[in-house]
Every structure is written in structure tokens, then in C-alpha cells.
Structure 1
Amino acid sequence: MHDVSALPPEIEAWFAGRGWRVRQHQSEMLAAADAGQHALLVADTGAGKTLAGFLPTLADFAPSRLAGKKVPDGLHTLYVSPLKALGHDVQRNLMTPVEEIGLAIRIETRSGDTPSDRKARQRVRPPHVLLTTPESLSLLLSYPEAAELFGSLKRVVIDEVHAFATGKRGDLLALCLTRLQALAPDLQRAALSATVADPDAYRAWLAPWGDIDSVAMVEGEPGADPDVSILLPGEETGVPWSGHAAAWAVPQLYEEIQRHKTTLIFTNTRFLAEYIFQLLWDVNEAHLPIGIHHGSLAKEARRKVEGAMARGELRALVCTASLDLGVDWGDIDLVVQMGAPKGSSRLLQRIGRANHRLDLSSKALLVPGNRFEFLEAMAAADAVAAGQRDGEDFRPGGLDVLAQHVMGCACAGPFREEDLLAEIRSSLPYAWLDAAGLSRVLDFVATGGYALRAYDRFKRIVKGRDGFWRLTHPEQAARHRLNAGIIVDNEMIEVRFRNGRALGKVEENFAAQLSPGDTFRFAGTDLEVEQFRDLDLIVRASKSSAQIPSYTGLRLALTTHLADKVRDLIADRSQWGRLPDDVREWLEVQAWRSHLPVPGRLLIESFPHRGLAYTTYYTFEGWNANQSLGMLITRRMEDRGLGPLGFNATDYALAVWGLKPVEDPAALLSPDILTHEFVDWVQQSHLLRRAFREVAVISGLVERQHPGKKKTGKQVTFSTDLIYDVLRKYEPDHLLIEAAWADARARMTDVARVADVLDRAARQIDHVQLERISPLSVPVLSMIGRESLPAGSADDLLLEEAESLASAAMRVDRSEADDNA
């Protein structure tokens, strides 16, 4: 769209006074609002997206538009962001134009950190603009005064929409939007993002009833091209074969910090943030002020660091995704990505933190941890330069989120089933819902389901003779508000021997994949799983070496788009001239000795090593999918008598080893592995129990808090495990069992990407039998020793370090040279 509305003279004068011009996309956002349209704005970081989103609100309060009328009372605009910190940052930045223009707009924030007395006051006397999160908005809608509070609402602005629209928080927000639209029929919706890959999909998500024609597509003016470079080690060391921390770069990184005013250093995990932060302090001879920021730090510590950055007091800040979104610190002149970026949109978002101005290039430095990560960094930089974005696909809304929303609606007041159905179906995530589906959810909220209906504590709502659903007791509302939310903490699991001696803790993501009898290495010891009890993993010393890879912390997922670009880069020899000599030689020897992985085909290599049979699958589907595939393949190998001894996964490859060679990998990759071995694995492991705990908490079946008391993780787990066992036995088709299976398939195992591997295997497998390890196998095999993962039944079966493996892989024998001459 190109029609623009006249900017109120007060606002136009403010722009002129700052030496700014009103950008085209800002004018178009105002025009869309004046035309009564919803709008999606996709614009580069630094393009003034937030101001563009709020411009219609500022215009509504401009004296020239009010034309002598009284400033409107009541809530006018909601601003919804995925992060509490982003709301506070926007409040600071939004107050500047409001105060300088002289607009009578009251702006406040509301989140879990807001004092209870202010929350109560906001419901009675709301500000004109309220900055909040999806969870806090959902709670506001659960109060009886919601109809009065939101009846005056004119506009909802959703910032960084790409960060949460495709997940459960997006489901919750979509349901909140349907409720808001019912309370304020003329409500306009606006969404803002710098990194939307499929704008039409987001327009459909944003629009009532998925009507994308009602959503104006506004594209931002292009900004200066980012200045992205890749850091290389010295010639004497070369690009590392393996590892993710990129610790080799710390001395060079410190030099970059000294050369720049403020450097923001992104890592992909909290562990790496702490690790890199410590390494930087070890070399910080000049005692430069360097800080750290991640989600595990206390709120006070995070706020202290954020304040120091805003005041320009830090020279560098090491952080995680906690600072990916929208925080505007103008003094940052360098962004560093430690390790692989895992996605072009994520990288673009992080690069945008530098300079934060459309007319200046954002400077970024990528620091790959290994050779595959160098290719990934190059592919990501190419994607950013080409303006290519990636992201998660939309999927059907979760039943657990829907159950929470239904309960929230009941807290606000009685409702008719048919009215609620029409309202819910107007959102894209729940457009699939029919009368029978809603009836099933209502029955769950009313009784807990068939197997639980005898227990009064699960009776939360009831249908009256008048046809209206309402709360069974007023106290149910307080219980709901105390426990509602979408984010469920990922617990740390204590590893213990049966006698109670603790060895340490692993993340539940890892522990949930283990079944009794599985072996893994932890604290320098090979352990066998006996049972999972509450939040304890009970183990005993293993008589054989460990088979399952050990805990390595949360990992960001490699996007399909970026994985494809890495594979394309490997297959396109015309691009190899851009590579460092050692990386180019690595690929050249791979092509000469074996094959290269190419799009549409699955490369599988088999070779002997130290008396064992190894097979490497080059899937390029990400660590989570490869980890799941490793679990499934080793089970199938066991059934076929191949004696699997272990596996290791990276984002790009899966290496499996055993006593006997794999002659026919296609038999291990038939599609029925997802209907037989997959179901058995998920049911025997803790995966389904963990997924059930999350959906039970989100749906409100199990409460995390009582007035004045919060349940421990063990108490919540104990409660959900009891209910899970009852439902599995007496009601296996229960709504929450179905929801848990959906989560286990989608989030915990990435089964869709496993299916992509199987699809490729069905079309074309390139199975290469080698006499020894290939160059491309070195990174995945060398990580075995690096992650303390033994690979067989005795110490002599431990793989050599990366350079020893590389020497074997890259060696050219005279006989081979003659054969290939």
C-alpha cells in the first residue's frame, strides 16, 4: 500500500525538530489505521518499527486531531511483547516523543514483576497505553471487569511477532485477540517484525478468521547492508575440526573489544555465556568493564546490567537469546556471534543490535567453533546479504492452551458454548476446532475427564440449566490466576546411586530420553539407568562402556533453511574458492575419497575403526532430530543382531558404531520406524511423562502454586506422574495424553525432521563403503572424546583426538594415489 494519511502537525514538527523525516512505512502504518485496517510491518532493525506501530496512537491524542475534544479516558492501546525487558525498554523510548510533543498519554507496564497494588489499580483506572506480555494479558482478560476495561480498546500492537507466534505463547495470544475483538469489535491489530520469512502466513495469523485481505502488508525502507565478517584463526592452528565454544578466538575477541566502543557477544547457551565470560576475564589485563546477561540470572542482576548498558558503562556484554529482541542500546558498534548462528533470521536479529540505525551498517563478527560451523557461518552471512529469512512453521493450536483459555473465560463470567466456539474459531491456530472438539475440552475443564471425574478437585466449571457455563466456586478464579501461564520450567535432574549418593545434575531434556538399561557417561563414570523417580535419575555403575551421549545443555535448533544452504555450499565447488585453505582441502579430500552430501540424497558412509564398525549419516537436520534418530537406529540395530555400542550426534551428522557393519542402511531407515520403534522409545523413556507434566500444568489440571506457597518441582512431578499412570491405564485417549504426544513429536524429538531423513532415504541413498574414516566424519567422531563419551566396551575403544582422526582421514597412501591417478 502507498496511500498515506496526513501526519498531525504537532508530530510532524517533532520529527522536523530532530532532523528526521517520516519514513514511508511509518506513514503507511498510519494510513492503514485511518482506513480501519489491521497491519503487518516487516522492517529492518533501526527502521523505527516501534514508533511506526505507535504512530496511530500518538495521532489519536494529537490536539489537532482531537479538535478541542477531551482526551479520551480508558485503555486505548495494548502493546504486547515476548519479553518483560522489551516492554520496559519501549516505555523509556516511547516517553520521549510523548513528553516532547506534549501529548496527554499515560503509559504503564504490566508483567509478572508489577506490584499487586498497581495491577489492581490498572484494572480500575487503566493507563491509555499498557505494555504487557501474552501471559499478563490473558490474566487481565480473566477478570469480571474485562468487558469494561477493554471496551474502549482501539489498537493492539504486537512487537517481535516472529519470536512467539508459532509456539504456545502465540496460541495464547491468538485466543486473547479473539476475546479482545469480541469486547471491542472495531479493534485494530498491528504486528511488527524484522525477520518474518513468510509474511502471508503471519497476516493470516494476525487477521480475524484468517482473512489476510484485512491485513495491510507494510514493508520497511531498506537500510544499509550489514557489515558481516567471519573471524579466522592464525595459519598455524587453522579452523578447528570440532568444538562449539570457539574458545580459540578469545584473545582476538579481546582485541576487538578494545578497538570498539561497546561490543555485544552472543552465545547460544547459558553455559557458553558463562564460559566465554570467564575466559574474557582471564585475559582482561586492562580491567575493562565486561558484563554477562542470561535468563538464569536473578532479575536484579539482569536489570543492573541492562541499566549499565543503557548508560554506556560497559565495554562488552556476553549474553544469550535473552537480548535477541528489540532492546535499543545505541552505543553498540560491534555484535559478535560465538559459534554457529543456527538461523539467518536469528543472526539478522542479533546483527541489528549494532548501531540500531537504518542508515548505518551494523557490524557483526561471526566466530565459528569448527569447520562445519564455518560453512554454516558463511551460509548465514550469504542469507543475510540476500535478505533471506527463516523461521518456524505455524501448526495447530495446543489443547492444553485452549483449556487454560476456557478456564480464563469462565473466570471473567458465564458464557455460552456456541458463542465461545465462534470466537475461538476466528483465530488461525484453532480454526480447525469443531463443536465436538470444544465439548471435549469443556468436559475436561469441568471434570478432569472420564477417569478423574470422581475427584471434586478437578471440577472447575459447570453447565447450568440456563445453558451457561460458569465456575463451580468463586475460589476457582483465584486458583486459576495464581497458576496460569505457558512457560514451564525445565527442571534439573539429580543423578543418584540407589544408596542416595548424588553425582550431580543433568538437564531434564537429556534425562527424559533415557529408558531403564540405557547407559551413559557422567562425572567420568559409565552409568546404567535403573529408573526415573520423581526428579531423580537412579543409576548404577555400568558393566560396559556407555552407549548414549551425555548431557551437553540446551541447544538452539539449526533451521531447515540454513541446513539446506550449508549442503548447497558443500555441493557447489564454484564456491570453494571463498573458503580458507584448510577447509577447502577438507572438502576436496572428502570428494576424492568418498562422496559429498548433495541436496535430495542421503549420504551414508560405513568404515572400520579400531576394531568396530562405524556408520555416519549426513542428515543436516539438527542435533535434536539426529539424537532421536540415533535412539531409533540403535534399537533397530539391536533387533537385527548388529551389536550397537553407541552413537553421537551433531547438527549435521549422526555417527553410530557397533560390533557388526551395516550392510543395508535402507533397512534401518524404513518409514515404519516411526510407528514401531518411535512409539516404543517414547513410551519406555520419560519423554511422554515430561510432556504430560507440561500440558497438565498449562491446562490447569495440576497447580504449581497455592496461596502463600509454591510447590517444588518434585511435588509437581509427583502429582503429574500419579495422574499420568491413572490415565495411561484407564483413559489412554484422554485429551492431555493426546496433547502430550503432540508435544513429544513436535518439540522434544523433532520427529518431522526425522521423517524428512526417512523420505530422502526412500528416494536415494548414497552408501559408501570406506576402508577408514572420511574427512567429513572427523567432526562428529572427534566430539565423542570431547564430550566424554566412550565408544565401546573398554578403554582401548576410545576414539583418538580430532587431530589423530584427521590425520587418518586426510592421509593419502601411495596405493590410493596410484588407483586414482
Structure 2
Amino acid sequence: MPRKKPILTPALDRWFADHRGTPLAFQRETWAAYAAGKSGLLHAPTGFGKTMAAWLGPLDEALRELPHDKSAPCRVLWITPLRALASDTLKSLADPIEGLGLPWETGARTGDTSSHRKAKLRQRLPFVLVTTPESLSLMLTHDDFRERLADLKAVVVDEWHELLGTKRGVQTELGLARLRRWFPHLKTWGLSATIGNLAEARSALLGDRDPDGVTVSADLKKPLTLETLIPKDIERFPWSGHLGTRMAAPVAEKIRSAGTTLLFTNTRSQTEMWFQEIQAALPDLDGRIAMHHGSIDRDERQRVEAGLKDGSLRCVVCTSSLDLGVDFAPVDQVIQVGSPKGIARLAQRAGRSGHQPGATSRIVGVPTFAMELVEFAAARDGWTAGEIESRVPLRQPLDVLVQHTLTCLLGQPDSPRALYDEYRSTRAFRDLDEQSWDWVVGFITSGGSALKAYPQYRKAELREDGLLHFDDKPAGRLHRMNIGTIVSDPAITLKFASGKTLGTVEEDFITRLKVGQAFIFSGRQLELVRFHKLTATVRPSTKKHRGQVPIWNGGKSPLSNELASAIARRLHHPPSPAREHTAVAPILDIQRRWSVLPGKHELVVEFTRTREGEHLFLYPFAGRLVHEGLATLAAARLSREVGESIDLTQNDYGFSLIARRGLYLDEPLIRSLLTTDALLDDLLAAMNSAEMARRQFREIARVAGLLAPDLPGKRRSNRDLQVSSSLLFEVFTRYDPDNLLLTQARREILERQLEWTRLKATLDEIAERPLKLVETERLTPMAFPLWADRLSAHLPAADAHTRLEAMLLELEQQASLERDL
């Protein structure tokens, strides 16, 4: 078959053929689209060559237009979501430049860039600059940045699916809008994998000023093999987390049988625990097992990444910190501990192995809960069927808009009308009305009606020239220090007395420790020596008992809609046989005999009496966050109905309501608990909505610049920020109740903490489903984990364990008796 006519210049075409082989169809399509002046979104599986598809178009253009000497100006901005990926991205971008013998410079500007290097970049930008959304915003504050980018031709946003649906994504949208306003012919390309809503993703990337953007999708199905480790003994009445590290021995055998393994967990705490278990199970691999998560010191993370690349490490226990980015060629096996909670996440992590076209990605699933066997099988079903989750873009986060407006004004004065038109070109703010924009202008110039008496909140000034100015040097310096939308509790730095940094933990964890108390971090047993000014000095602990593992907030992910549907489908109409399904057959058989197997075709509601009271168990299969909202709503409505206090628990499959007495099965009653009538009012009344809004406002206030965590020479404590945030919240609530940041806080509570859109959609679905009401004599396998979670939350650990064991014995005896009959 004759070779297709080259799209690239002959030298670049030869380089690609020598180093990458024959171009894939989607790579050629991307190069052709770029050469035609198009912008677009490139969608392809991990490991298929997206970087070269996006990079060689701009490089080819420069080869045709620029002299091949050191004078090349900055032509390309490459935005990455993780600064840790910058060095590997630079290497990939530099390969063809060096291969062609060109003297063109590549460089990075991220939070990890040294002060010396940042100063160099202020003098001259490289041919291609790799940066992050935060660093791009910082560069926009420089009054000469536009001039230094005068020759910019293209901007590429890597891993766009990771930014989409986040405030960092909106920050990126706004930054791109500014660049497109400066350079109307700028070409914008985004790289994405494992995403379901490509049209929305492209719209958010390109904005409304580029309706002719293209989507290039690789017509290549990534082969994926999922093998799930089946526990030898599976309890017929399992509960969440019970299997835990009992699976360490078979996991260790899988690690021993492979070359290099990435072992993913879903939280940093799990990573710390599993690292300990794997080290203990494989003592002969001491020094060849490592750990990687976002709180570990950067130098240690880089050492681990280097060990993956050179093959000196056999296993790295990690979190999503290694989900993205570089090609770890030696990795031939991925292990996922616990359900991935989403089909896209499973595929993304599996893609860390077989990280090249044509290679099969292999992943081993390790359940921490017996029903997660079904989740692994369902995730395989979903991947086979092409059911990939969407990332919903955010709409009008005004805190980000306030921050970005001040960022732009630091760089250059601008007219309110021009800024308004610029922002309306983004998807996030295309529906921004003039009244809301006038509020933003008033807020940054006066602090709003509640804060106009305080000069520190009057940052920008609308002058007689009709332009907004922000040239207060102290306020500008403070703004630059706090640019960004990533909000978390203050990070406490862990150090040895020698000065060596280990990483960070959250303030809430370290303040609960006493001096001399032991804890586990980065695989070490440590003890606290002292805590002063956001630094905790520690030393190796010689205590025999194992210390506690830090808990980081925001670790758990809810079950996705797509995976929930795949689970319900597998329970009732399995698309194919699966070992996992066979393994849990005894559990499902008892569920059928004692009640009904829940699913999406009807809503199963169980009524059960135990020593603790009367229980209603409902199984919508909508994920933990939605069930939390449904349980809160139903409990409040039920309490009004029966006049009793209602307790609740929830998991990814359903939720439970419990009272001492007064509960019963009645279809009109159940329907009334789950109606959408007066939904918002009832839900807000059921929650401590004022306190939730207060907490959410703290994050918004930080992003909008009302609170400054970082001050010159120090960082404010979490307690100080809480006090300041609460005071501002009270002031706005009392004197400025129509403040749009308060409105945003209420909206974010509903969408982010309770998934309001999905919750309402679930209630609409339930209204169309028939109810299956079942009174059971005892707890069913589906009800047992909900009951166990409540027990653990309400009783001391020893008492909960005793009661749990007694209930397990009772249920197992009954199940065995029925089996023998």
C-alpha cells in the first residue's frame, strides 16, 4: 500500500517516521485541520499519541515561517492541569526540535519553577512555554505580557477533561478568552481522553467566537482487560470496607508476578495504609516499593517518577496523582483497590499500562466490599458498551470572574464594556446579564453596599477615562500571591529537625495530635515534636504500636450515573457471564429469597424491625451524594408525618430511615416522601442550610479575594480564616442579602454537595417507577451495610463490634438453615 502524501514538511515527516512510525489517521486529520487554520478538540485514548498530534501542527507551521536560528519568538502556550507533568511534557515537545537540530528553546513556568528561572522568563519567553492555569493568570498580571506574546500562534490545553467542570476549568476558559481577544487568529486545541460529552467540552474550550471548531476523534478502541481478584471467603452479609487489607496477600502475589505495577487507591489515607501492607507482604522487595500522592514532598515524588521510568521500582502505591500524563513504559500492570466509582476513571487508570497504540491495557480490580465485585463487572460492561461519563461545565461562578477581572486589570486598564463582551464569549459566562456584571464592577470598585466603608475592599477604580484601573501596589502584590481556585485547609509542612521536608498534612489532623504521639506518613512511623507557625517538626518514632494515618478531606468519589445504571443492568439482565457475578451469587440469592433484588426498573422499599427500632430501606441506585440529599429530605418529611426523630444513613446503592416506632409501608406515604412538590424549600429546611452556606461561602470568599490565606512572609491559620469568613458572611446576610456571592454559595451547596440536578432527575425517575414494598423478617444483604454504617456511627467501637458480630451470627445461621432445608 503506497504511503499517503505527507502533510508535514519533509524533515519533520522523516523524523516522525523514524521515531514514531506511520502516522495514525487522527494524527494526520489533526495536522491537516491545524494547517487549515482550524481550532478544535482532539479525543483519543491514553497512550495513542495525542501530544504529537497536537504539537507537530504548530511546529510544522514554525518550520515553514521562521528562520532556523535562536531568534524564534514564543509561538505556542501549552497548558497542563498538573505542574508535575511539566517536565515530562517539555521532554516530549523537545524531542522533535532536538531531532531536527533546531536551537529553539522550550521552557516551563509553573509553581515549581525557581525564582531565578522565572526572572529569566520575564526577560524572554521560549519558543514553546508549558504552564498551568494559575501561572497563566499570574503572567496576565504583567503589563508587558501581551507584547511578549505578539507572535503567539497556538495554545494547547492538555488533559482538558480534567479541568472541565471545575473552577480551574473556568479560570482556563477566561484566560483563553483574553488571549483570543488579543490575538483573534489564535488557534486553540484541547486534548482529552475518556469523556462522554465532546460537543460541550469543545464549546467550553473554544467559546462562542469559534463556532467552526472541529472535533477529531481517534477511531480506535483501546483493548482493556479487567481481572478481578475474588476473595476466598465472601460473607453473605458484607459491609463497606470490611474486606479492606485482607486482600493484601493475593495483591502481593500479583505484584511479584509482574514487572512494574501501579497500585491505585481512591484516597491518600488508603495509599498510606496499603503501602504499609505491601511492604510487610513483600520484604524481599524492600527499597523497590514506593508511594506517590499529592501531599508527599515534590522531590520525593520526582524520585518515584524517575524510578518508574528507569524500571528500578517494582511497585508504586498511588492516588490520582499518577492518573495523568507521561508514558511509564516499564509499567505492565495496574491494580485498582476499591471500586473506581466510574467507567472513565477505570479506563484512565488502566491506560497507565499498555501505554501505546495497539497494546492492551491491563488492570486488576481488588474489592474492599463484596458488592464491589459487581461494580467491577459492571464497569467492564460499561467500557465494552462505550458508556463514558460526561463532565458538566460550570455556569457563572462569579468568584472566579471577580478574581480574573482583577487579574486582567493588574496587567492593563480596560473598559467595563470590553471586559463584559470578552467574558460573554466564554461558555461559562455566555448568559451573564448586564445587571450581574454591573454588580461585579460595583463589588471590585466599592466592596458592595455592605463593605463600601472599608478601603481594603475598594480594589479597582473606574476613572474619568472610562477605564477600570487596579494599580494599588500592595493590594496587587497580595492579589498575585492568592491567585487560583484550588481551595483547601491550610497545609501543614512536616519537617525533620534537620530541615528535610517530608510533605504536608491538613491543619485539622495535626492539631488533634499531642506532642510525642505517633502517626504514619509517607511510609514512615513518625511522632510529633512541636507544631509552630504551620510547620510540624517530627522525628522517627520507635513506638511499637502503629500510629494513626492522616485523613485528607475530599477523597471519596460518588458512584457515577453510568456505572450505577450498569450495576442495575448487571444485577437483573447481565449482558455477559462474569466471574465476579458468580462469586456474589450467594449474596444475591439470599436477597431474592428474603426480599427483592433492587434495580432501576422499580424502586424497592424494605421495612424491617431490629433491636434498634423500625427501618425503611430504599434503593434508588443513584450514588452516595444523591442518596444523602434524598435521605435528608425524606427524613424531614417523615418526621413531620409520624412525629418521631428519624436517623438516616446512605451508601451508593440506597439509604435507610430509622425511628424507634411509627414507621410503616404505605405507597402514598413513600410517594409523599419522594415528591418534587416544594422540593427546594423542603430540602433547604431539612438541612442546616445556613451553616452549609457559611462553609461554602468561605471557599467563595477566598477565590473572590475577600480572604487572603497567603500574606507577605506568612500564611494565615485555618481558624483565622474561618473567623474572618464567618464575619463577612454575617455582614452580607444582614446588610447585603442580595449579594451575588451569597447566591452562589447556596447554588454550590445544592450542586456540589447534593448534586441537585441529579437529585431532581432521580426523583422524576422514581415518580415513573412502580414501588415494590417488602416487609422482611430480618436484615437483607443489601440492607445490612446501611444498618452496619449507622451502628458504627452511633456506638463506641467495642459496642458496635459486639452488636455487629451478634447480628452477623444470627443472619448467617438463618441463611445456613434455609440452605440445608
TM-score range, shorter chain: 0.7 to 0.9
- Between 466-475 and 730-739, report the one with greater CA deviation: 466-475
Of 783, 786, 803, the residue aligned with 1:777 is 783
The equivalent residue for 1:415 is 414
Work out the CA distance in 1 between the residues paired with 2:210 and 2:763: 36
Per-residue CA shift, 1:651-686, capped at 9, x if unaligned?
Answer: 112122211224432232232564334323554563
> How many Å separate the matches in 1 of 2:813 and 2:298?
50
**Separation in 2, partners of 1:801, 1:37:** 67
After superposition, the C-alpha distances for 1:324-358 in whole angstroms (9 at most, x for unaligned) are: 11122110000011000111111111011013111
1:286 corresponding residue in structure 2 = 284
Q: Distance in 1 between matches of 2:513 and 2:273?
A: 30
Residue aligning to 2:474: 475
Deviates more, 1:107-116 or 1:644-653: 644-653
Task: Report sequence identity in percent.
Answer: 31
Task: Name the structure 1 match of 2:91.
Answer: 92
Determine which of 735, 742, 748 is the counterpart of 1:743: 748
8 Å contact kept, 2:609–2:777: yes
Contact 1:43 1:49 in 2 (8 A): yes
Separation in 2, partners of 1:622, 1:552: 19
The one-character-per-residue Cα deviations of 1:203-246 (angstroms, maximum 9, x if unpaired) are 2112231654x212212241551222111122587895542764
Q: How many residues align?
A: 766
1:754 Cα offset (Å): 2.7
Name the SS of the counterpart of 2:783 in structure 1.
helix
The answer to which of 767-776 and 248-257 deviates more is 767-776
Structural mapping, 1:180-195, within 5 Å? 180-195=179-194
Counterpart amino acid of residue 269 in structure 1: T
Q: CA RMSD in A?
A: 3.2
| CA distance in structure 2 between the aligned counterparts of 1:268 and 1:650, rounded to whole angstroms | 16
For each residue in 1:757-801, what CA deviation from the matched residue of structure 2 results, as whole angstroms up to 9, or x when unmatched? 32234333333222222232123323445x454399x97994446
Deviates more, 1:606-615 or 1:316-325: 606-615
Does structure 2 retain, via aligned residues, the 8 Å contact 1:29–1:55? no
Aligned position for 1:524: none
Q: Secondary structure at the match of 2:283?
A: coil
The alpha-carbon deviation at position 55 of structure 1 amounts to: 0.8
CA distance in 1, matches of 2:431, 2:790: 45
What is aligned with 2:101?
Answer: 102
Q: Which residue of 2 aligns with 1:708?
A: 713
- The question of 1:271 aligning with 2:272 is answered no
For residue 726 of structure 2, what is the aligned residue in structure 1? 721
Query: 2: distance between equivalents of 1:70 and 1:281?
Result: 52
Task: Indicate conservation of the 8 Å contact 2:444/2:459, yes or no.
Answer: yes
Amino acid at match of 2:290: G
Contact residue 263 and residue 315 of structure 1 kept, 8 A: yes
Task: Report the equivalent of 1:252.
Answer: 250
In 2, Cα distance between the equivalents of 1:641 and 1:323? 51
Tell me, in whole angstroms, the C-alpha distance in 2 between the residues paired with 1:805 and 1:68.
Answer: 82
Q: What corresponds to 1:532 in structure 2?
A: none
Cα distance in 2 for partners of 1:440, 1:364 equals 51
Conservation of the 8 A alpha-carbon contact between 2:54 and 2:156: yes
Q: 1:151 corresponds to which residue? A: 150
Partner of 2:739: 734
Residues 1:372 and 1:4: Cα distance change in structure 2 (over 3 Å): farther
Q: How far off is 1:268 after superposition?
A: 0.5
**What residue number does 1:368 align with?**
367
Instruction: Tell me if structure 1 keeps the 8 A contact 2:396–2:432.
Output: no
Matched, 1:760 2:758: no
Runs of 5+ unmatched residues, structure 2: 491-505, 519-550
The letter of the residue matching 2:414 is F
Q: Secondary structure at the match of 1:597?
A: coil
1:284-683 equivalence runs, <5 A: 284-288=282-286, 289-471=288-470, 473-490=472-489, 554-572=555-573, 579-610=580-611, 612-641=613-642, 643-644=644-645, 646-660=647-661, 661-663=663-665, 664-672=669-677, 674-683=679-688
Deviations 1:48-77 (A, max 9, x none): 111111111221343xx2485766632211
Find the aligned partners of 1:117 and 1:496 in 2 and give their Cα distance. 34
Equivalent residue letter for 2:785: P
State how far apart, in whole Å, the 2-side matches of 1:557 and 1:271 are. 17
Q: Is the 8 A contact 2:268 2:552 kept in 1?
A: no
SS of 2:335 mapped into structure 1: strand
CA contact (8 A) 2:236 2:812 kept: no
Distance in 2 separating the partners of 1:551 and 1:8: 50
Q: How far apart are the structure 2 equivalents of 1:800 and 1:642?
A: 32
SS at match of 2:394: coil
1:637 Cα deviation from its structure 2 partner: 3.6
Give the distance between the partners of 1:156 and 1:552, measured in 2 at CA. 34
What residue number does 1:509 align with?
none
* CA shift for structure 1 position 400: 0.5
CA contact (8 A) 1:82 1:160 kept: yes
1:729 Cα deviation from its structure 2 partner: 1.3
* CA displacement at 1:747 relative to structure 2: 1.2
* Secondary structure at 1:152 match in 2: coil
Structure 1: distance between partners of 2:723 and 2:32: 55
Q: Equivalent residue for 1:690?
A: 695
Please say if residues 236 and 586 of structure 2, whose CA atoms lie closer than 8 Å, have aligned partners that are also in contact.
no
What's the TM-score, normalizing by structure 2?
0.87
Sort the Cα spacing of 1:304 and 1:463 in 2 relative to 1 into closer, same or farther, 3 A: same
Mapped contact 1:391–1:559 kept (Cα < 8 A):
no
Q: Alignment partner of 2:584: what SS?
A: helix
> Hey, what's the Cα distance between the residues in 2 that align with 1:42 and 1:223?
12
Distance of aligned partners of 1:143 and 1:644 in 2 relative to their CA distance in 1, 3 Å threshold: same
Change (3 A) 1:268 1:791: same
Q: 1:116 deviation in Å?
A: 2.7
SS in 2 for 1:11: helix
In the alignment, is the contact (CA less than 8 A) between 2:445 and 2:461 conserved in 1? yes
Q: 1:700 to 1:152 in 2, by over 3 A?
A: same
C-alpha displacement at 1:158, in angstroms?
Answer: 0.8
Alignment of 1:127-276 (within 5 A): 127-209=126-208, 211-212=210-211, 214-222=212-220, 224-234=222-232, 241-243=239-241, 246-276=244-274
Shift in Å, 1:620:
1.8
Q: CA deviation at 1:18?
A: 3.0
Larger deviation, residues 617-626 vs 274-283: 617-626
**Residues 103 and 798 of structure 1: CA distance in aligned 2, closer, same or farther (over 3 Å):** same
User: Conserved in 1, the CA contact under 8 Å of 2:633 and 2:683?
Assistant: yes
Residue 15 of structure 2 is aligned to residue 14 of structure 1? yes
Post-superposition CA distance 1:617-644 (Å, at most 9, x none): 2122222222333334333343334534
Report the Cα offset of residue 11 of structure 1.
1.5
Partner of 1:518: none
| Residues 431/345 of structure 1: CA separation in 2 closer, same or farther (3 Å cut) | same
Map of 1:535 onto structure 2: none
Q: For 1:495 and 1:354, how far apart are their aligned partners in 2?
A: 35
Q: Which residue identity does 1:782 align to in structure 2?
A: A
What is the alpha-carbon distance in structure 2 between the residues aligned to residue 295 and residue 753 of structure 1? 30
Partner SS state of residue 603, structure 1: strand
Q: Secondary structure at the match of 1:337?
A: strand
Deviation string, structure 1 residues 165-216 (Cα, Å, up to 9, x no partner): 111111110010100001111100001112121111112112231654x212
In the alignment, residue 769 of structure 1 is paired with which amino acid? Answer: E
Whole-Å Cα distance in 2 between the matches of residues 428 and 306 of structure 1?
Answer: 36
Structure 2 counterpart SS, 1:640: helix
Which letter does structure 1 place at the counterpart of 2:683?
Answer: F
CA 552–616 in structure 1, closer or farther in 2 if over 3 Å, else same: farther
Return the alpha-carbon distance in structure 2 between the equivalents of residues 799 and 244 of structure 1: 12
Letter in 1 for 2:734: K
Find the aligned partners of 1:4 and 1:601 in 2 and give their Cα distance.
Answer: 57
User: 2:327–2:352: 8 Å Cα contact kept in structure 1?
Assistant: yes
The two structures have a TM-score, normalised by structure 1, of 0.87
